[in-house]
Amino acid sequence: MSLSRRELLRSGAGLAIGAAGLSGCQLNSGVQASAGETRKPFAKKIDGDLAYFNWGEYINPDIVKDFEKRYGVKVRESNFDSMPAMMAKLRAGISYDLIFPTAEFAQRLIRGNQLRVFDHDKLRNADAVFDQFQQPWYDRNSAHTTPYTIYATGLGYRGDKVGELSGTWRDLVSPEAEGRSFILDDFQEGIGMANMVNGYDLNTVDPEELDRSKDFLIDLKPKLRGFSSDTIGNMTSGNAWIQHLWNGDVVNVRNQVDNPEDFKFQKCREGIPVGSDTFAIPVNAKHPGTALMFIDFVLEPENAARNVEWIGYPMPYRGGAEEAFAGLVKDDPSIAVTVNDLDNGQQYENLEGEGRKAWDRAWTQVKVA
Amino acid sequence: MGSRLDPGEGGVSEQRFASGFLFPGAVWLLLFFLVPLGILLAISFGTTDDLGNSLYGWHPENYRDAFDPLFAPVLLRSVGYALATVVLCLAIGYPIAYYIARFGGRRKNVLIALVVLPFFVNYLVRTYAWVAILGDEGIFNGAMNTDIRFLNTPYAVIGGLVYGYLAFMILPIYAALDRMDPSLIEAGKDLYGSRWHTFRHVTFPHTFQGVLAGAVLVFLPAVGDFVSAQLLGGPDEYMVGNLIQQQFFAAENWPFGAALTTLMMLFLLIFMVMYLRSAAKASREAMA
């Protein structure tokens, strides 16, 4: 008995040492890929069920059902609640056919040879994309992505509970909210908001500036209810009277409640982070053909229109999508976000190396304080 | 250890025969416990590339960073919540175990099955259910027509932990009570012990090892839990589990997360060793 236990212990230690001996080698071979692998051609045709990986409640479910019905395949949907959580699953080598990274995470994935190149000519409606996305900063020649949505970050609030807000990020801790305020549990949006309030560049990596932004967030903490990215759940359940969120979520919430007129959105005067999400096909996708069929299906003008109406975010394509969002904005101008905002507003950049570490450290310090 | 495994008693061939049955378990533990532990240890000295992949290497600074005094309040809070959870589980669990063991009669097995039944549903899902029940405009406040703010408080977090781990307290205490000879309690009463005295001097000492086992089984997972604080807690209920979870899934810093995990396991090992020594001592005394 005792002998075999000792043997086990010894072999365990040996394994640890052996593993450590592979110094410099990478652990997760699942996400190692060469540039060549990203360029393997594939046909735009149904080649199996679709492994779909996106934020929750970020597509009109009817579109998914109709796609399944029209092509006789299953869409197996998984969700993430942050970009780093998406990255963790991809690094683990799990194979998805279609993912929806933000622009800056798309850039990071492209640099790491993680996204398949696909032919935009095969997408019937891709040329309806707004001119500003012909040559996006994160993906040269749009070789690996096509845009999904544009968004702006601001404050969602309950007009019936807190009245009108005063136009600043500091409204988060207004006394009317009685401590029912949530900040997004997202290192980019948390630190980014603080940078804007302090008048810094959205993407600053200056240690002193990050330090002061960290302190700003720590000062907010006693008046907050929590850090949470379950924005739609928090607002529909009544737990949040003020919620740091992305503009379209307010529309989504309104579609779910009995008193939609009470749910409002504020863009804050210190600055509005603006960004875009993309469709992308991971390099280890097993069914890239179905993925391309799905993108094409969502971009059909009718589908794009009903998707925009459901998710509340504009899709940067002329035609149905553009008209649908114009309709939403007519009802509530506060949620408007345009491609011009992308030029004028501030976009999150792809933080690498020490810069990313500094942001993570600041965010961890906010959490533990 | 018991003497059953001594070759002298059971015979060498019987021991071999019994050892054969250990083989699947040993392989299982080697593959799914020791190997991952070795990988974790190796990662904890590593670093990451731009995609966040772990690279092996020699970076002991991960451990240095883990000893940042900033993290001390988080550790203390976790231990405090876990201790509160143990106390509450004991207060709630002991009477339940006592009732089932002494008065369960023919329904004993059904009652124990009922205790275990919630485990058929994942802990995360059950905790989500509490979010729906305890929300400001949730099921409870709606039904009672009240306006109580349960969520995002330390009470909700500890409540979630008690709810999640109560069965781990009930089962070992039940086992100890079930083993206990009921005539001992009668003897205590015959000797004019009051109910309380009999409990204090007879029943409780006899089940103390069960209580201790329950306390350890509740404390260990509770101190490292992140689900309860994540779903039911607010900004000031951050626990060690949340800190570790954040390193893996938000900061994309597996090496630092692995270093924190390794240190946490060493810390918990102290409690485990203390428990094992106490259990060994008790079993020696029982033999004597």
Reported as a single tens digit per residue, the pLDDT across A2-21 is 334 444 444 444 444 444 44
Shortest alpha-carbon distance between residue A22 and chain B (Å): 7
B54 touches chain A (CB under 8 A): yes
Q: Whole-angstrom Cα distance, residue B65 to residue B73?
A: 15
| Tokens of residue B13, six digits | 């061939």
Instruction: Summarize pLDDT for B159-204 with one digit per residue, the tens.
Output: 999 999 999 999 999 999 999 988 888 888 888 888 898 899 999 9
- Closest listed residue to residue A91, CA positions, set A266, A332, A99, B197: A99
Report pLDDT digits (tens) over B110-124: 999 999 999 899 999
| φ/ψ bin of B145: left (φ > 0), alpha (ψ from -120 to 50), beta (otherwise) | left
Spatial separation of the C-alpha atoms in residues A108 and A138, rounded to whole Å: 8
Is the distance from CB of A347 to CB of B50 less than 8 angstroms? Answer: no
Residue in A16, A84, A237 nearest the CB of B42: A16
B71 vs A contacts (CB less than 8 Å) = 368
For residue B150, give both structure tokens: 């349960």
Q: What pLDDT is stored for residue B146 in this prediction?
A: 93
What per-residue confidence (pLDDT) applies to A344? 73
CA distance B122 to B161: 14
Q: What is the ipTM of this complex?
A: 0.87
User: Mean pLDDT across the stretch B214-220?
Assistant: 97
Contact A291, A148 (CB under 8 A): no
Q: Tell me whether residues B138 and A237 touch, CB distance under 8 A.
A: yes
Question: Whole-angstrom Cα distance, residue B133 to residue B153?
Answer: 15
B49 contacts A25? CB cut-off 8 A:
no
Contact call for A15 and B38, based on CB within 8 A? yes
> What is the model's pLDDT at position B276?
92
Per-residue pLDDT tens digits for B267-283: 999 999 999 999 999 88
Q: Among residues of chain A, what percentage have pLDDT more than 70?
A: 92
User: pLDDT at position A343, please?
Assistant: 77
**Residues A265 and A156: beta-carbon distance below 8 Å:** yes
Nearest CB among B19, B56, B249 relative to A20 is that of B56
The whole-angstrom separation of Cα B54 and Cα B177 is 49
The per-residue pLDDT of chain A, averaged, comes to 91
Residues 6+ apart with CB under 8 A from B96: B115, B170
* Contact at CB, B52 and A368, closer than 8 angstroms: no
| CA dihedral sign of residues A188, A189, A192, A198 | negative
pLDDT band for position B207 (50/70/90)? very high
CA distance B149 to chain A (A): 9
A226-273 pLDDT per residue, tens: 999 999 999 999 999 999 999 999 999 999 999 999 999 999 999 999
pLDDT for residue B11: 67
**pLDDT category, B6, cuts 50, 70, 90?**
low
From chain B, the residues in CB contact with A184 under 8 A are none
Asked whether residue A33 carries a pLDDT value surpassing 90, the answer given is no
CB contact under 8 A, B41 and A369: no
Average pLDDT value for chain B: 92
Q: Can you tell me the distance from the alpha carbon of B282 to that of B6, in angstroms, rounded to the nearest whole number?
A: 20
Tokens 């845009």 -> residue: A147
Question: Given pLDDT bands bounded at 50, 70 and 90, which one contains residue B21?
Answer: confident
In terms of DSSP bridges, do strands A98-99 and A50-55 run parallel, antiparallel, or are they unpaired? parallel
Which of A12, A24, A237 is the closest to B57 by Cβ?
A24
Chain A contact set for B42 (CB, 8 A): 16, 19-20, 22
In eight-state DSSP terms, residue A298 is: H
Whether the Cβ atoms of residue B214 and residue B172 lie closer than 8 Å to each other: yes
Contact A365 B70 (CB under 8 A): yes
Q: Please, what is the angle between helix B72-103 and helix B154-179, to 10°? A: 40
Place A31 in a pLDDT band, splitting at 50, 70 and 90.
low
Q: What does the pLDDT read at residue B286?
A: 78
Write down the pLDDT at residue B15.
81
**Structure tokens belonging to residue B24:** 């699947």
- Residue B285 confidence class, pLDDT cut points 50, 70, 90: confident
Cβ of residue B5 closer than 8 Å to a chain A Cβ: yes
**B10 pLDDT tier (thresholds 50, 70, 90):** low
The mean pLDDT value for B248-259 works out to: 95
Collapsing DSSP to helix, strand or coil, A264 comes out as strand
pLDDT (tens digit per residue) in A34-70: 888 999 999 999 999 999 999 999 999 999 999 999 9
Could you tell me the maximum CA-CA distance found in chain B, to the nearest angstrom? 75
For B138, which residue in chain A has the nearest alpha carbon? A237
| Least confident residue range of A165-179, B13-27, B70-84 | B13-27
Whether B26 has a pLDDT exceeding 60, the answer reads yes
What is the mean pLDDT of the segment spanning B98-108?
93
- Burial tier of A106 (Cβ tally within 10 Å: 0-12, 13-18, 19+): buried
Task: Supply the pLDDT for residue B9.
Answer: 54
The pLDDT of residue B20 is above 60: yes
Facing A84 at nearest CB: one of B29, B54, B252: B252
Q: Which residues of A touch B45 (CB under 8 A)?
A: 20
Per-residue confidence band for A23, with pLDDT thresholds at 50, 70 and 90: very low
Q: Rounded to a whole number, what is the distance in Å from the CA of A8 to chain B's nearest CA?
A: 7
CA distances in angstroms from B242 to A73, A227, B90, B117, B271, listed in the order given: 38, 12, 25, 27, 21
Q: Which of A7, A25, A26, A241 to mutate to test the interface with B (most CBs of B within 10 A)?
A: A26
In order of A180, B174, B175, B190, B202, the CA distances from B184 in angstroms are 56, 16, 16, 10, 7
Percent of chain B with pLDDT over 70: 96
- Greatest alpha-carbon pair distance for chain A in Å reads 77
Interface touch A112/B246, C-beta < 8 Å: no
Tell me the C-alpha distance between A44 and A288, whole Å.
8
